[in-house]
Chains A and B, each alone.
Chain A
Amino acid sequence: MNAHHDFPTDEDLILYHYGESPDAEAITAELARSAAAQTRYAELRALLATADEWTPELPADFEGSVWQRLQPRLARERVAPLATPIMAPPPTAPDTAPATLEPTTAAAGRVLPAAHRFGARVRRILPAAAAATLLLAVGYLAGRLATNQPPQPQALSAEARQRLLAETLAEHLERSQRLFTELANAAPEAGAELAAEQRTAEELLSANRLYRTAAERGGREGVAALLAEMEPVLLELAHLPEEPQAADLEFLRRRIDARGLLFKTRVASELLTRSLEPDSPPLTRSTV
């Protein structure tokens, strides 16, 4: 038996409670013998029983709202083999899938006739390709900046590289802010008229991922974090059903509002733009 005078300790009792104590027999004996130990164990059990009550409140129609969001995605899953994007990632096991909130086949597109699917693919790929070209340049340049490698003879100056990155990001954020504003101001029944916004969201989504990488490589971690926050919202909007319901729109609005995206994109865009002005102090990690 453990002869330590304060046996069992609080830690001993926690392990005992969860069935992981190496001294279980000794603790049982001590609990039978010591009123003080009994009191401490009773307090611990009361605390842990109280913790059991930590459950989020859910509306009565929770399952219905889950299904309302899920069902269109399942429908897209069923047509995924027809609409698989050219650069689709390989399938992964559900319990070992990489960290992502995006459906693996999220880019697979909506249920569209074949001709439209081709058009949709082209629309998706073109902006991505354009953004990729730009980002290859920006990412490369930003990467060079981050790794302090010696500049090549043709390379832009460090200042020019930062300006290029800042301009690109500011424009992207400004465009995203406009989109979020349009959504915030759209009439509730305007769900069926979101096609243009969805196309914009698709373009922004493709660019967003690349810009995030560039921002990370370029040391603009604040912007990278903001872009990461924007991504699920752009994804939701880009993949709304062809005839979205008012509830879909409302869900997106709540998401934009909850994450403060209107405000954040505006401020970040302004800070980036301001950084481009002559004699402006350099931006740091604490800003953007």
Chain B
Amino acid sequence: MGRMEDGALELELVGRAAAGDEGAFRTLVDRHGRMVFNLAYRITTDRAAAEDVVQETFLRAYRALHRFDGRAGFGTWIHRIAMNASLDVLRQTRTRREVAYETEEGALDPAPSHVPGPERVAASGDLRRALGRAMGTLTEIERVAFVLRHYEGRSTVEIGEKLGLQSNATRQAVFRAVRKLRLALAPFMTERVHERAAESGAP
């Protein structure tokens, strides 16, 4: 289906959903739920939090359906809501984590270490998990800046506005994120570079 047809279909779905057609809204949820989850997960790195964001995003959207004017696609609209909902959750989580406390045994906060050694990454043999752990080596600012820059295609200025950072600080956060990812994924990268070179026909 072409983009225009898709847009027209979604506009129709939004209109029907706003008129009370639950099935139409479910179709929109089905079409965009994974995208919302992926975005939320990348920002929060927490499955439960990402699930909450999915719920919150579609609830916010449902309440505001009558304000959707179709100038941007529904996907763009829901994406913006999801990003804001994710950042809201992150702010809440950050507040909680900053004041997290421990028992005398130090076991009350069960958060895992976020700084795995490269040998653990290499030993896992599972790139996806290694990526997750590599992302865990980033600070929150670095991760969110990188997610918004790399996965969401946001400009430095936009990211800075979202995170309350100056442009230079935003750029530095992305630089640090890339450096840390390079370090954490080093065991995988030699092979990956060769694979990509072979795919592109390079000698």
Task: Tell me if B156 and A228 are in contact (CB < 8 A).
Answer: no
Nearest CB on A from B136, distance (A): 11
Q: Tell me the bound Cα distance from A267 to B171 in angstroms.
A: 43
Q: Tell me the bound Cα distance from A36 to B96 in angstroms.
A: 46
The residues in B between 17 and 72 inclusive whose CB is less than 8 angstroms from any CB of A are: 20, 22, 25-26, 29-30, 33-34, 37-38, 41-42, 47-48, 50-56, 58-64, 67
Interface residues as binary, A155-181 with B (CB distance below 8 Å gives 1, 0 otherwise): 000000000000000000000000000
Q: Which residues of B contact A91 (CB under 8 A)?
A: 63
**Residue B135 at the chain A interface, CB threshold 8 Å:** yes
Q: Which residues of A contact B56 (CB under 8 A)?
A: 100-101, 103
Task: Tell me if B92 and A99 are in contact (CB < 8 A).
Answer: yes
Known: A97-B60, A101-B89, A255-B48. A228 touches B29 (CB 8 A): no
Task: Tell me if B92 and A49 are in contact (CB < 8 A).
Answer: no
Interface residues as binary, B145-168 with A (CB distance below 8 Å gives 1, 0 otherwise): 000011100011000000000000
CB closest residue in chain B, given A223: B101
**Residue A146 at the chain B interface, CB threshold 8 Å:** no
Task: Find B88's partner among A69, A98, A105, A268 (CB 8 Å cutoff).
Answer: A98
Task: Tell me if A70 and B55 are in contact (CB < 8 A).
Answer: yes
Q: Which residues of A contact B141 (CB under 8 A)?
A: none
Task: Find A74's partner among B62, B92, B104, B131 (CB 8 Å cutoff).
Answer: B62
**Residue A258 at the chain B interface, CB threshold 8 Å:** yes
The residues in B between 59 and 99 inclusive whose CB is less than 8 angstroms from any CB of A are: 59-64, 67, 80-81, 84-85, 87-89, 91-92, 95-97, 99
Task: Find B84's partner among A57, A96, A101, A259 (CB 8 Å cutoff).
Answer: A96
CB closest residue in chain B, given A57: B128
Task: Tell me if A222 and B101 are in contact (CB < 8 A).
Answer: yes
Q: Tell me the bound Cα distance from A49 to B178 in angstroms.
A: 12
CB closest residue in chain A, given B149: A18
Known: A14-B174, A228-B92, A260-B110. A50 touches B20 (CB 8 A): no
CB closest residue in chain B, given A47: B182
Q: Tell me the bound Cα distance from A97 to B56 in angstroms.
A: 11
Task: Find B108's partner among A14, A69, A264, A285 (CB 8 Å cutoff).
Answer: A264
Task: Tell me if B42 and A54 are in contact (CB < 8 A).
Answer: yes
Task: Tell me if A47 and B63 are in contact (CB < 8 A).
Answer: no
Q: Tell me the bound Cα distance from A42 to B100 in angstroms.
A: 42
Known: A96-B84, A271-B103. A43 touches B189 (CB 8 A): yes
Q: Which residues of B contact A44 (CB under 8 A)?
A: 178
Most chain B Cβ neighbours within 10 Å, of A11, A55, A100, A263: A55
Known: A74-B22, A101-B89, A285-B101. A14 touches B178 (CB 8 A): yes
Known: A49-B196, A78-B20, A91-B63. A20 touches B156 (CB 8 A): yes
Interface with B: A23-31, A60-68, A191-199, which one?
A60-68
Q: Which residues of B contact A73 (CB under 8 A)?
A: 55, 59
**Residue A93 at the chain B interface, CB threshold 8 Å:** yes
Task: Find B81's partner among A50, A95, A103 (CB 8 Å cutoff).
Answer: A95
Known: A221-B101, A225-B96, A255-B48. A99 touches B89 (CB 8 A): yes
Task: Tell me if A63 and B30 are in contact (CB < 8 A).
Answer: yes
Q: Which residues of A contact B99 (CB under 8 A)?
A: 221-222, 224-225, 285
Interface residues as binary, B176-187 with A (CB distance below 8 Å gives 1, 0 otherwise): 001101100100
Q: Which residues of B contact A52 (CB under 8 A)?
A: 151
Q: Which residues of A contact B54 (CB under 8 A)?
A: 66
Known: A10-B179, A97-B84. A53 touches B33 (CB 8 A): no
Task: Find A287's partner among B26, B103, B179, B202 (CB 8 Å cutoff).
Answer: B103
6 chain-A/chain-B pairs, Cβ below 8 angstroms: A20-B155, A48-B178, A66-B51, A91-B63, A224-B99, A255-B48
Ranked nearest first, the 8 interchain pairs of A and B with the lowest CB-CB distance are A222-B101, A99-B88, A221-B99, A94-B60, A54-B131, A94-B64, A63-B30, A225-B96
